[in-house]
Amino acid sequence: MNWKRLLSSNRIGKSTKSETFRSAFEQDYDRIIFSHPFRRLQDKTQVHPLPEYDFVHTRLTHSLEVSSVGRSLGKKVGEAILQKYPELTDNGFTPYDFGAIVAAASLAHDIGNPPFGHSGESAISDFYNEKQRADLYKSQMSKEQWADIVDFEGNAQGFRLMNQTNGLQLTCATLATFTKYPRPSLISEKDNTRKSQKKFGYFQSDKQAFLELAGEVGLVDYSKEGIWSRHPLAFLVEAADDICYQVIDLEDGCRLELVSYEETIKLLGGIIGKDFNPLKLEKYNSNAERVGVLRAMAIGKLVDECVAVFLEKEEELLTGEFDRALTGLIPSKDILKSIEVVSINKIYQSRKVLEKEAAGFQVLPGLLEAFTSAVYANYCDKPSYTKKLQNLIRLLPEEIRSKMDQSSDSLYDLLMITNDFISSMTDSHAISLYRKIKGISLPIA
């Protein structure tokens, strides 16, 4: 791989010209920030349900913070890369381009996630894995398509959203940087030593689009199964996400009194190291302010450490040889591991978090049961198309029904479009619609 191709501002299927006041990569950021899928993240769970008396992070605020950290990582890396390869400067690239690419990809990194956090992904997958549905659907599609259906993946859903006909049409550099897992759902053997193969990043419906993308930016082709190397800047998106959820989930846990103030200070101070001075915290009026100051210092330290590892491994990144999380190699890795253990034990398994996840396992299968039954009856089994199912079809948004009408001969496409509808919902919308179609809550005139 080489940086000139990796920084391609072309969009899949067409070339792009930057505006005089906005680069193509800045346009990517703006397209994402104004998009409906991004806006819906304001009512999608990050970890905690929204409390009555304090603020915790939603998917939207988490994504904005990851984008901010990602921009810092990208600009710092870009400054060093341009010094090493001065011909990139001759071609008009600046550190701000690196920052804008990573910021845009980071902003979109959760855009394909369903309601109710990661439990939502499991709930959708579990629904299709039930024997009754598997017996009905599996034989009507290829094994590769079925693998997409029974293993819902938010990263692949994000790629799908951004490549639909009316999608965001991001530049190839940003789209490749977004893709942390450049492989399909079904491969013969997963290489567990490569972080990029932990999950998958595109569905069969987007296979051709990813092939064009990989060719444009020059990713390394590892096999005939559609397994590619990561774009080097994707490691910075991953690092930005890791930094934010580790440090900020801890801050939220402290605010909600799931983790003690003393333990939080000790953990954040461990990252800051020699620059940590407990006495300086006394000038702040509240524990929340003190934790906020240490959080900012900790993030700054982690950014510098990740940039150093990236630059050390830059040549291995370009060959595709390096394939590990940057945060697993930095000096603060052991402290981050300690934070992760605390988060799992005291935050992610807290009662309110578990209650929210339990709701997801009830609501999403309930919605899928109703709408997949209606879709199957309407397009594949007309004799079973009852008045009840007709009403459910009418509840689908017009653009969803239109897409289904155009894909009526493919059960795979019909189910994927149904998943588009369900996974795009906010937490509140999913709960409200579930209550209405189950007769738990009736519309009020």
Based on the fold, state whether residues 288 and 382 are members of the same structural domain.
no
> 3-class DSSP state for residue 48?
coil
The CATH number that applies at residue 9 is 1.10.3410.10
* C-alpha distance from residue 58 to each of 40, 61, 142, 302 (Å): 10, 5, 37, 22
> Does some domain include residue 223?
no
Report yes or no on 218 lying in a domain.
no
Q: Write down the H helix ranges in 45-94.
A: 59-84, 86-90
Q: For residues 48 and 61, is the Cβ–Cβ distance under 8 A?
A: no
Per-residue pLDDT of the chain (445 residues; tens, 9 = 90+): 999 999 999 998 776 666 667 899 999 999 999 999 999 988 876 554 444 445 566 889 999 999 999 999 999 999 999 999 999 999 999 999 999 999 999 999 999 999 987 888 999 999 999 998 899 999 999 999 999 999 999 999 999 999 876 678 899 999 999 999 999 999 998 899 999 999 999 999 999 999 999 999 999 998 878 999 999 999 999 999 999 989 998 998 898 888 999 999 999 999 999 988 888 888 888 988 999 999 999 999 999 999 999 999 999 999 999 999 999 999 999 999 999 999 888 887 777 777 777 888 889 999 999 999 999 999 998 888 889 899 999 999 999 999 999 998 999 999 999 999 999 999 989 999 999 998 886 655 5
Tell me how many domains the chain contains.
Answer: 2
Determine contact, residues 106/70, Cβ cutoff 8 Å.
yes
Please give the backbone phi and psi of residue 289, each rounded to the nearest 5 degrees, phi first: -65, -40
What CA–CA distance (Å, rounded) separates 212 from 54? 46
Asked if residue 119 and residue 99 are part of one domain, the reply reads no
Residues 109 and 239 in one domain: yes
Residue 370: closest CA among 304, 322, 294, 440:
440
CA distance 3 to 182: 18
pLDDT value for 52: 46
Residues 250 and 334 in one domain: yes
Task: Say if 196 falls within a structural domain.
Answer: no
Give yes or no: residues 383 and 428 share one domain.
yes
Q: Which of 289, 316, 348 is the last residue of a domain?
A: 348
Residue 433 belongs to a domain: yes
357 plus 268 within the same structural domain: no
CA–CA distance, 212 with 209 (Å, rounded to integer): 5
Last residue in a domain, options 292, 313, 348? 348
Residue numbers of the domain that contains 429: 115-150+350-445
Token pair for 346: 């005291």
Residues forming a β-bridge with 58? 45
Asked if residue 399 and residue 443 are part of one domain, the reply reads: yes
Q: Per the domain annotation, does 197 fall within a domain?
A: no
Residue 61 CA to chain centroid, in angstroms? 13
Name, in order, each residue with C-beta under 8 angstroms of 434's C-beta and a sequence gap of 6 or more: 362, 363, 366, 367, 440
Nearest to 319 by CA among 229, 233, 234: 229
Q: Read off the CATH number of the domain in which 133 is found.
A: 1.10.3550.10
Does residue 178 belong to any structural domain of this protein? Answer: no
> Is residue 216 a part of any domain in this protein?
no
Instruction: Identify the DSSP state of 346.
Output: I
Q: Provide the pLDDT for residue 22.
A: 83
Query: Do 21 and 79 share a domain, yes or no?
Result: yes
Q: Are residues 80 and 109 in the same domain?
A: yes
The helices-and-strands tally (H runs, E runs) of the chain is 22, 0
Report how far Cα 334 is from the mean position of its chain's Cα atoms: 25
Q: Is the dihedral of CA 380, 382, 384, 389 positive or negative?
A: positive
Task: State the CB neighbour count (10 A cutoff) for residue 262.
Answer: 10
| 101 and 122 co-located in one domain | no
**Is 322 found in the same domain as 262?**
yes
- Backbone φ and ψ of 177, nearest 5°: -65, -35
Q: Based on the domain organization, do 243 and 383 belong to the same domain?
A: no
Has residue 185 been placed in a domain? no
Residues 6+ apart with CB under 8 A from 37: 111, 112, 161, 424
Domain boundary among 307, 331, 348: 348
